[in-house]
Amino acid sequence: MVGAGWLQGASQCEWWELVGYRDVPEQRSLQYPKLYEPGQLNLLFNKREFFICIAQGIYTSTILFFVPYGTLADSTRDDGTHMADYQSFAVTVATSLVIVVSVQIGIDTGYWTAINHFFIWGSLAIYFTILFAMQSAGLFEIFPNQFRFVANANNTLVQPTVWFTIILTTAICIVPVVAFRFLKLDLKPRLADTV
């Protein structure tokens, strides 16, 4: 997860070239040749940016572990049973991770197309489909030794505490990124931000 942002940034550049994405019209590119300097001077992918991605990954990983751990440690389900079991914790952390990454990609996306919507919403739909399929009674009947946690996702994701934890974790992970970007845009705008 630490290097995911670095790899994601590199792969997004190649993806946008394939789709034909242009953030600046051709006429503006000829009027403002300094827009190409960040790429030529390696300002977007360097050691500093790499370590910023690592720091963000460590921060996000810490939040994704300790917020659900602290929230679910003493919580109970609606029926009064204790909620702090390994599988409920795993479902909560995994769901938080997928939502945080999807929100982060949504924030990073500057130009929305049908392809963006398809892949972002599709990845969330596929995650929940696989999550519920992996914990279904049908797979348990076929492979009883591999799929022992039948309906755990169903029982976990109906709890209000779990959804509160997911929303809280997402907010704690995303708000600093958004605040940093707004401050950076206000205090130290790039040439591309002013054109």
Residue 111 reports pLDDT greater than 60: yes
Residue 108 reports pLDDT greater than 90: no
- Judge if 163 and 108 occupy the same domain: yes
| pLDDT band (50, 70, 90) for residue 194 | low
The per-residue pLDDT of the chain, averaged, comes to 80
| pLDDT band (50, 70, 90) for residue 6 | very low
Is residue 68 classed as helix, strand or coil in its secondary structure?
helix
Give the residue with greater pLDDT, 23 vs 114: 114
Residue 170 reports pLDDT greater than 60: yes
Where do runs of H (alpha helix) occur along 37-159?
37-40, 47-72, 86-108, 114-134, 137-142, 152-156
Domain holding 24, by residue range, is 1-45
- Judge if 80 and 139 occupy the same domain: yes
Give Dmax over CA atoms of the chain in angstroms: 67
Cα(49)–Cα(189) distance, integer angstroms? 16
Contacts of 98 (CB under 8 A, 6+ apart): 123, 124, 127
In a domain, 193, yes or no: no
| pLDDT band (50, 70, 90) for residue 19 | very low
Contacts of 167 (CB under 8 A, 6+ apart): none
Q: What is the mean pLDDT of residues 158-174?
A: 94
Instruction: Compute how many other C-beta atoms are within 10 angstroms of the C-beta atom of residue 185.
Output: 12
- Judge if 80 and 175 occupy the same domain: yes
Number of domains in the chain: 2
- Judge if 138 and 162 occupy the same domain: yes
pLDDT the model gives residue 151: 81
Q: Which residues pair with 82 in a beta bridge?
A: 76
- Judge if 149 and 183 occupy the same domain: yes
Q: What angle do CA 132, 138, 140 make, to 5 degrees?
A: 90
- Judge if 40 and 107 occupy the same domain: no
- Judge if 40 and 71 occupy the same domain: no
pLDDT the model gives residue 193: 61
Cα(180)–Cα(16) distance, integer angstroms? 25
Instruction: Give the closest residue to 90 by CA, choosing from 26, 135, 46, 44.
Output: 135
- Judge if 92 and 139 occupy the same domain: yes
Give the residue with greater pLDDT, 173 vs 44: 173
Please state the φ and ψ torsions of residue 129, each to the nearest 5 degrees: -65, -50
pLDDT the model gives residue 152: 82
DSSP annotation of 75 reads -
Tokens matching residue 78 = 């609606």
pLDDT tens column, 62-89: 999 999 999 988 887 777 777 778 888 9
Q: What angle do CA 54, 106, 130 make, to 5 degrees?
A: 85
pLDDT tens column, 41-66: 776 677 888 898 899 999 999 999 99
pLDDT the model gives residue 173: 94
